[in-house]
A and B are shown apart, each in its own frame.
Chain A
């Protein structure tokens, strides 16, 4: 009967961690200024009062977000609000862009990663990234996955490392017979999983994903979402996505970003995913989520 199903749904709705295999305890998230203190999961990545400039243009204003460890945190918001800029601060990919300047703190395991003595290669080894359009190297599947470990001087047999990474990316069975073939022979969804395997091969602690499914068809997208949930057991995942249903399906925590009048991006709300999508606190979040704006 629909009543019973509804009543069951009612019990599910207030509980956080939509989409996780084991439901977790209720989390309350008090807000301080534009930032959030999450009381339960430990924060692995943190931005404190982050301001980002490209030359004179301010791209991010006073963003403070704590990313809990071994959970999936989604960052949503309309186009141009600075989501990609924000996520790329965590592995210092913005350094490659001319005119980039960051003020405030970005912390990884409670240590600032923008200090002078920090080795940016080390940061990128521990915080991996998967991009919007699958970008495998123009080499064989094997070479793609082996490149990271090889240049970082990993010990152990490269074959094993490659196989393990491809297993973890749920790609091994599909490519084990053609591992020396060029990566471009794979489909879009497979290429993206290859990129994930490439990121996993160097054993990061965090995986940043910048709209990883936006160039893929729905079936490939769902496969990658399943993969994300698997990976979240061992890795901290931060995903930027335009697709709100995906954010709702996949993530435990959601940060909502908006562009202010001067086009600087701000974080307007952060909380447990099911809270954000059933009962958001900020009216702008509500408007964005229900499609009344943006």
Chain B
């Protein structure tokens, strides 16, 4: 059965037009996202770029907008992120390894799996309430960096677990078989072959998690991060504030100058985020290069 030439040509034209239309739609969607993001960035930059200076970064907040700086918030953010990572990454990776490589495939494991997926979608303020009850009150950590970091760790844990599980699952089974065949025990196989091979994916998960954490305001407010902090934390039990809270604080002040400060704060926040991501991406590419040759 053959197709008559004119029919074929018409159908071909339709096919080509549809394909073209679809590509245009995709490009338009991308442009939309990029343009919106661009507008946001340009707005922020135009407002706050002048305000960003070494003084700004190195000063504490004050009632006078010209003197106010972001030092406390910046250090608070770095402390929180650091301790969150220290808690969340090993626990998350460990849980993922257990669920993927060790746990028997029974109903209990499935229940755990479903719960973790659900936890990823729980609103962050709920984590704040949990942190308040458990870390601040019950464990008596007060409103410290440690309490905040633990709360954030709980928040990002499901994200890390899910991403790490995906990464572990993506390692081809042939590697597991090959490791067993040379006489590796299960833990040798997992830790010497699977985890190193999954590391790029795990790092991606960590990037995602920490990027989420750096911007979360609600849980930290709930556990009692301060709004006006004229000092930087010296230890995990000190009180603290973080960049989002500081920015929020400034935006709620009427003076125009504070709006500028807020914009400048946003720029600093974005810069920290970008730096963190770049480090993680660099590490991921390093590991991927090792794995792929």
Contacts and interface: CB of A to CB of B under 8 A. Distances in A.
B175 A137 contact: yes
B204 to A, nearest CB: 17
Interface stretch (A144-152, A240-248, A275-283): A144-152
A181 interface: yes
> DSSP majority for the B interface?
helix
Contacts of B197: 137-138
B185 A182 contact: no
A152 B180 CA distance: 12
B105 interface: yes
Given A96-B177, A131-B177, A148 B293 contact: no
Contacts of B193: 137, 147
Contacts of A137: 175, 178-179, 193, 197
B292 A121 contact: no
Contacts of A198: 178, 182
A93 B173 CA distance: 13
Nearest to B181: A129
Contact of A133 (B174, B196, B290): B174
A202 B182 contact: yes
Contact of A131 (B178, B185, B293): B178
Contact of A124 (B181, B192, B196): B181
Contact of A148 (B105, B183, B290, B291): B183
Interface residues of B, number: 23
Interface string A133-159: 101111100000001100110000000
B32 interface: no
A128 B182 contact: yes
B28 interface: no
Interface of A: 91, 93, 96, 98, 121-122, 124-125, 128-129, 131, 133, 135-139, 147-148, 151-152, 181-185, 195, 198-199, 201-202
Given A137-B197, A148-B183, A198-B178, 11 more contacts: A124-B181, A124-B183, A135-B174, A138-B196, A139-B291, A148-B182, A151-B184, A152-B183, A182-B291, A182-B293, A198-B182
11 contacts: A93-B180, A96-B177, A121-B184, A128-B181, A128-B182, A131-B181, A147-B179, A147-B184, A147-B192, A148-B184, A182-B292
CB-CB nearest 4 A-B residue pairs: A182-B293, A148-B182, A135-B174, A125-B183
